[in-house]
Structure 1
């Protein structure tokens, strides 16, 4: 029950966001939380929707979006106030549901990898045997980055007990730990990867380590059972707004970079380069919302092998498909 106790202790203020398509007559206040918003790439569809005015078109008052540093923090923030919807790590969502918390998964967020596992330039980690005894930096417990470590260790049949796991708190601190020789391997996602290189850090990607790992579902949209019953229309329109933002990313790269640069506090050309880097790793990392069962099962398998959860895991009971657009429900 540790996860539930952590949620019970957390009470934080929220920001806001809403949804799209057919505008209702009156605006309503809607709050959402997105993992690593403004500091990672997960929030770009929401930034686009905000800047394009699509939430306002839907008649929903949006003043901002609450961020978090990933893992269980995102779920705790969702539960701390009147937040309608959150995009969080699938690992965090499953852990919370398994512990009995009243939330449902309502859409897919991101699928695949969005960064590189890196070592210090000049170091040699070339085979699975070289992983033994190494310290691997990830962001937080129950985060997608922790799940990715577990995935490649399982792939290479390296027991978790053979490495040291370092929860650095976020991606950038993990890279700092690597540079300062407190870690041997770190995950470098955008924008941390690009900014680290621009700041002169000597990083060397080790692409072999996760090249053959099945694509995991990194993030999902969640809502409480109470909000699902009381605010289902808002949840539906949030998912539609996000989908509209995702489509825009793939169709209008340069403008997407310009629109999202405000929240990321970076120059548009840097953001554009980062989006291109993500696409090199996973061609369509931002999902329009349809569930990928295999990608979800990949994450569950890794969590079970790591001792984070126990089976059975009933995805059908965890998922509520009612709020997906009709064309995204098929096969999900």
Structure 2
């Protein structure tokens, strides 16, 4: 949280009359001043242009942009990913850039079409997990006491199980499918968002500018909407960016174990599983593995850069 957001109201800004919690703001001018002081904190996400000075971030964003373009243009750029041919286990060549698999399917087409499946599903998993975990973290951190105790114990209960084991159990109970794989990963992913958002909310609750808002008569729910939620966006965005790569990995892991999208869907994890049966046909598993590696690494680089930009205290600690 920036130092500007922590500043208290100047001495010359005082309410016209005593205010009580939940009552209207006594001095509109003072409230506008507080709002202006909070706006830089709310708009930190719009001032991340400095990350473009880092070559690694530019390369990472370029890699993600290439994958997005390939995913969007996959039907135009490649052949049918499930079309079979008599050319079985052909190594990479001019006719088949990434070779063919055990059914004669073009591996390049399957890798590119796999991006159309893995990337949107990763966004859905992170979005649903952020919505659930963010709501739990906000309520636990802001309401405190009984709500905090109940919600955090529920979070600890989910944390008690290893992520991949719990995801496997949920997916196995409902059966292997794309929908059930997403459901399983949302179930195991939301607690980390709850923990991070709760920590940010607890820090904001003890800040000077929130105390000043209460003195000016701002109600608790109005303060939650105007102060707490906007100032919690930064940590949530950083975590969501980092977790996009983890979502791709976890989805590939479930598919590798046969608990993800059903064949013949071109999913990267399932392709690696098919190639792992015979390592002499290395191209069947290496190219989807490289796809996962580049996407996850790119998301991690962008997430680290956003963390450095949105958390000045962390950046100063590195120096």
TM-score above 0.5: no
Of Structure 1 and Structure 2, the greater strand share is in: 1
Q: Return the index of the structure with the highest Cα Rg.
A: 2
